[in-house]
Structures are given as structure tokens and as C-alpha cells.
Chain A
Amino acid sequence: MSRFTSSSTILRHLGWAVVAALAAGVVILFVDPYPDYQLAEVALFGIAAAGLTVLTGFNGQLSLGHGALMAIGAYTTALLLRQSPTVAVPLVMLASVAAAGLASVVVGAAAARLRGPYLAGATLALAVGLPGVAIRFSKVFGGDQGISVPPIETPSFLGADFPPERWLALVSMVALLLAFVFLANLTRSRFGRDFRAVRDDEIAAALAGIRVAGNQVSAFVVSGCCAGLAGSLLAFWAGLTAPSGLGLPLSLQVLAAVVIGGLGSLAGAVWGAVAVVYLPQLSSSLTEALHLPGVVKDNLPLALYGAAFVVTMLAFPQGIQGGLRLLYRKLWIAIPSRRDI
């Protein structure tokens, strides 16, 4: 066991990925189509949140514009499929990743000059402004009504009865695991250490020989590529790319997932994605059960959703992953035989 865990990082990560893939695959195949659909949403938010947590948690750059990068990925998918409907889905996703990556080079280069609230403000402007491009050039981008995206075709060997939502969940999970293996390796590599060095002290990092600006742009590109992949999956998931679904609220949703899950933690990105997907539904169900009058009933789910975030941040400032670490440490200490180690 110790030999396995101390051997090559990539083998270790791939091993975990295979285990996770099998577990996720079993769950996906046995639940109903709608829960599969929700799992697909968790996967895509997980990818976006993981990218953002690397940028913000590991590299210290706060971006409020990840919704815009997801939009670039989503529109690339929609436009490609509208142009040539028979293009293979993996190619479409790669193109979306590349498009968002390219955009990230530009955004990252601009952002490398900015720090703190100014960086946040610039990325916020991107999040607010980009959907407007789709409306301004409505002939190309479909305007306010957007471009519809056909669902991913289920391979014929699975039979005609295999729900498209289930196939979407499987594809999304594979994408999530691939992204996570890549990011996990990256953060444990020299690049990951450089990211953290730049985050902690730029001057010291520069003195140690790290090219700070290049490093920051690279972080943006990695993060943007993840957002592009998430955006492509979002296009398939929603069946439509329209400005009203890709605006500022989307950026804030991804950021909320990162923060509530645990900043700087890949596992946290998954917890955050779960929270962002299931909390609104939980609060709606709770409101339904309370049988309240009109206006209160309409607005209570949003209030509950917000309250849940506030309470979680007060109780676990390090997010859910931080809370789990605390719990794990307490249990570790509580087991007597372990105390000597």
C-alpha cells in the first residue's frame, strides 16, 4: 500500500479516477433519468468550480468572470453544431476548451496587471458585458433567443431506450474525472508550487526566478479551459445557449460553489457543485411543504438559499472541505492507537 501511494503521482491519481468512475457509473446507471440530469449538472459545475479554485485558491487571483468564459465555451459548441451537426462531440468539446483558453490568454494578460478588487472589477465587467455581444450581433449569435443545441446522441449499442439524460451524466462524469486528474497532477507539480509561490508573495517568487506575469496568465488559461469545458457541457445540458442564462448570476454561482465547498481544494469544488445544484431544490421543496401565502411562497426559496450560504460560511469559513478536514482530524485524534503516529 505505501509503495503504491508513494509511487508516481499520475498513476495514483489515475487509480483514484478509475475507482471514482466505477462508483459514479454504478450510481448513474441505477438512478432515474432526472437524478441523472442533476448529476450531469453537478459534474459541469464541478469542472468550472475546480478551474476557478485553482485560479483563486492556488494562484490568488479572484475572477468574477468565469460565467463569461463558460459562455464562450457554450457558444462555441452551439455555433459549431449549428454549422456542421455531424461533428463528433469530443471534437466540439475540444474546440470549446481551445476557444475559452484563447480568450483566457487575452483576459489573463490584461488581468496580470491588476490585483485584488481591481481584478475582481475587471472580470466582473467581462461577466456583465459579454452576453451583450450575443445580443448586439444577433444574426451570428442568435440574439436574445439564443441558439438551440441538440442533445448528445446516445450510441446505438446502448439501445433506443437508454435515456439521453443518463448518457449525458456518463459523458459529464468522464469529463469531470479527466479534468480532475489533470488539475490534481498540475497542482502537485512544479506549476502548482509556482502558483502557490506567486499567491503567497509575488516579490519572493520573482526573486526565486518565477516569471510572475507568465505564471498568472497560465493559471488563467488553465482555469479558462476548465470553464470552456464546463460551458460546452452546459450547452448540451440546457439544450440552449442564450444570454439570459449565461450572465453574471452564472459567474456568481461558480464562485459560490468554490467558496462554500472550500477554497483551494479540488474536493471542495465537488462539494460546492453539489450544494449549488441541490440547495435551490431543497429550499423549494421546504417552501412547498410549508404552504405559505403568495408573495412569501414565491420568494422564500431564494431567501433560504442565501441563508444556507451565510450559515455555512459562518460555521465553516474554510467551506465544506475545511469542515470535513476538521472532523477528520478530531476523529483521527480520538482513535487511541493512532495517537503515537
Chain B
Amino acid sequence: MELSSRGMQAARRGRLPVLAMGFVLLFTACGSTSTGPTASAPGITATTITIGSTQPLTGPAAPGYSEISKASDAYFQWVNDHGGVNGRKIVYKYEDDGYNPTKTTDLVRKQVLQDKVFAEFNGLGTPTHLAVIDYLNTEKVPDLFVASGCNCWNQPSKYPETFGWQTDYTIEGKILGQYINKNLAGKTVGYLSQGDEFGDDGVKGLDQKIASTQVVSRQKYDPAALSVTGVKAQIAALAQAKAQVVVLYTIPAATALALLTAVSPALNYHPTWVVSSVGADVTTLTGLLQTFSKGAAGAALLEGIVSGGYLPAPTNASDPWISLFQQIHDKYIPSLPMDGNVEYGMAVAFNFVDLMKKAGQNPTRQDVINTLNGGTVSRGAGLVPLGYSSSSHLGFTGEQIFVVTGGKATAQGSVYTSTDDGPINTYTGGELTPPGNGIP
């Protein structure tokens, strides 16, 4: 091995005592006890589990999404302060890729080769994560809970290491489409979707439930051009087509721009807005509306908005999960708003801790994959079950409808689950109760 040949050369140069000392220290550091936590895999030592992530901390996707990793880290710190996972503390190395896939590949290689992380956790973004999915699966690094609703993460035979987490965009589109059919029957519908897989997958789901004759306008936008052209042309087209219901498959910035453009005096357009969970968080939208309109508009524009969600509403203070997350938020990240992004970060972190506890005292990377495929990981704060099995790497399998009433997203109707092409079923399992100290 490389170590011993270098050692022999050094000895020939007369540095034997120093080298010998070095080796003694090295071997004592590596030494493991036969009981208790041991170094069972890369990234796992007797005292730590190191995981890596790539997140948009700067750039166009940063507003809102940059909070997710900090919230997950806050939850991990909570767990660490209460003894960690099987005696190990979680070290969360999340790094900024600025939503640029070239940067993502660089960071993931660094995390796997140099930082030697145990797994990649919650990598954010569809094009960014697609850049690294082949590499992670070739290197057999667990690729857990990707922060994107693309169904590309659900390919267990091609990508056995990769698992989604949030409800995929097509399933959400179906559930939103079903709501429109039931509660807004007969009305004309328009779509504004992001010009990529996120928007296209959502529209696929909507089209399964909404008759094509009902859809009077289909508009798309490019997120990179948002700051330059906004969505003025698209909203004007929707107004012209007289769409009474507009479905927004948009990121928060685009949702805010759409709402503001519609109420401008020129258009004075007031459809019923149905928004994807990706761009519907009330707190985030309120902030963006105020920023974009320079204080002229605010939360009032959000009244009556319909969206879907797989987690309890973050403004619902009486929900036991929300009060747990609020407690952790107030202790570790008080400067961040308590919104849907923070809730997302903590909920996914909870699932990870549950997974690691169930993967065994000294887990290998394969142990983690097997545990997930066994379908035993708790859904934590989720309103619907997780869909993990050896034949499905889908995360949450459905959503509930939320309507913004009095400034808060309020749950309405039943909870639904589905698959990309199957029927929609009602789910009656209710919410789980969080464990005593909030740790699985």
C-alpha cells in the first residue's frame, strides 16, 4: 500500500523516528473498539456521521430555498445536543452551487472524494441534481431525499442509490386538477408553467384531470428571464383568453410577479389562483410581494389562493409538529422566518435521523439503502405515507388541498394519494404524533 512504501523511503532518509511517531498516532486514531460505534463506512466514524449537500445559497433560486439547509442543520444540532444518532453527531456539509450544474458536479466530487461524506442529502434542483446522479450511483454513494419533485429520482433499477422526497409534480398536478374539476367545475382554465421539467410534469398531471376543451390558454416562462421580462406577456395573454381559473406551476418569485401583474390597473384581472406547493408558501410570497411592489401590495393578494401540501401549514401553531419545529427554530435559527422552507428543511432532517437510527448501530451505505427499500422509515410530519420500496423511490405519495383564508393556509377536504398514472385515492391515516423530545 502507498503508506508503507512512502514510510520506507522516508526511513532511508533518516526520518525514521518522526515517521514512527506519526504511524503510532495514526493507528491509535484509527483504532476501534469492538463494541459501540465504529467506523463502518466512509463518512462514519466512531463519533460522527458526515453528509453533504449542494444548495442554491446565492443566485436566482436562493430566495426562500437558501433557508432549507439551515433549517435541516438546526434540526441536526437539536439531535446532536440530545446525544446524536446511536452516539454519533451529524455533521452537515451543505455548499453553494448557485443553481449552476457545473458547480454542482465540482462540489459533489469534492464532497465524495475529498470530504468523504457518507451520503448526499437533499441535493436541491432538477438540472443541478441530474448532473450528479450518474456519478453518485456509479460510486454507490446514497443519494437521499433529493429536493425536487421530478419523477426522475424514481428509477430504482437504473439509480438504486437515489431517492426522492417531496410529492412529485405530476401527482400534485392531478390532485390540483381534481380539485378544479370538483370545486370550480365548468370554469375556463389557463396554465402558467415554468419552461422546464417542473412545469411540464405539473401540466401532465393537470391534463389528466382537466378536459382539454376547458383549457383556454397555456403559457410558459423562463426562470432565467424573470428579472428582465417578468411574466407580463403571459398574464396578459391569460387575461385576454378570459381564463377564470389560473394554475401556476411557478417558483415563488414568479408567483409573486404573476399576482402583481394581474392586479395592475391595466389588466385588473382577478381569476381564481391555484398554485403548486413549490411557489405557494404564504410567508415567502408576502415578503416577495412587498419587495417587488415596494410596499404597495402584500398578503391581501394571497387571499383565496388554492394550493397543495404534504406537510401541515407552517402558520398552524396548534399543530404539534409546527410547535416542535418552532421551538427548534427559536433556539437555533431565530433570524430566519418560520415559513414553509424552514418546515421543509426540518421535516426532511427528521426523516434522515429516523433512517439512520433504523439502519443499524454501525451502518454501511448498503444498510441505508436496504432500510429505505424496506419501507420502514417513518413519514414524520408528512400528511401522507412515503412511497419507498424496492420498486419505488418516490417520496410522499400525495397532498391535501390548502386554501389561504385570513392570511393563513387552511387545510380543506380530504388527503389524497396517487401515482403518476394511477387513480387518486383518499388517505385516512391522519397525522402522526411527534415523539416526546422531537427525536425519532
Contacts and interface: CB of A to CB of B under 8 A. Distances in A.
B335 A293 contact: yes
A260 B109 CA distance: 27
Interface in B114-139: 114, 126-128, 130-132, 134-135
Contacts of B70: 294
A145 B105 contact: no
Contacts of A242: 101, 127, 130-131
Given A144-B195, A148-B134, A298-B57, A239 B66 contact: no
Interface in B155-210: 195-197
A32 interface: yes
Interface in A15-65: 32-34, 37, 41
B130 A240 contact: yes
Interface in A274-297: 284, 293-294
B109 A145 contact: no
A302 B58 contact: yes
A85 interface: no
Interface residues of B, number: 34
A146 interface: yes
A245 B100 contact: yes
B96 A244 contact: no
Interface of chain B, helix or strand or loop or mixed?
helix
B15 interface: no
Contacts, number: 83
B421 interface: no
A240 B196 CA distance: 16
Interface in A104-153: 135, 143-146, 148, 150
Contact of A145 (B57, B100, B113, B197): B197
Specify which of A237, A250, A294 lies most central, judged by the most chain B CB atoms within 10 Å of its CB: A294
A277 to B, nearest CB: 9
Interface string A226-260: 00000000100111101011010110000000000
A34 B66 CA distance: 26
Given A294-B335, A298-B66, A298-B96, A135 B130 contact: no
A135 B114 contact: no
A194 interface: no
A299 B127 contact: no
Contacts of A73: none
A301 B96 contact: yes
A145 B335 contact: no
Contacts of B126: 144-145
Nearest to A35: B114
B102 interface: yes
Nearest to A302: B58
B100 A135 contact: no
Given A37-B113, A148-B134, A244-B127, A238 B105 contact: yes
B222 A34 contact: no
Contact of A33 (B101, B102, B113, B333): B113
Contacts of A245: 100-103, 131
B109 A34 contact: yes
A301 B197 CA distance: 31
Given A239-B134, A244-B224, A145 B114 contact: no
A41 B333 CA distance: 37
B100 A244 contact: yes
B64 to A, nearest CB: 13
Given A146-B127, A165-B113, A239 B197 contact: no
B130 A148 contact: yes
B105 A34 contact: no
A34 B100 contact: no
A278 to B, nearest CB: 12
Contacts of B57: 298
B99 interface: yes
Given A165-B113, A238-B102, A298 B58 contact: yes
B127 A145 contact: yes
A298 B62 contact: yes
B197 A240 contact: no
B114 A32 contact: yes
Contacts of B195: 135, 144
A26 to B, nearest CB: 15
B407 to A, nearest CB: 26
Interface of B: 57-58, 62, 66, 70, 95-96, 99-103, 105-106, 109-110, 113-114, 126-128, 130-132, 134-135, 195-197, 222, 224, 333, 335-336
Closest 3 CB pairs of A and B: A245-B102, A144-B196, A34-B113
6 contacts: A41-B106, A244-B224, A294-B70, A298-B57, A298-B66, A302-B58
Given A41-B106, A144-B127, A240-B101, 19 more contacts: A32-B113, A37-B106, A37-B113, A135-B195, A143-B196, A145-B126, A148-B134, A165-B109, A234-B102, A237-B105, A240-B105, A242-B101, A242-B127, A244-B101, A244-B127, A245-B101, A294-B333, A294-B335, A298-B62
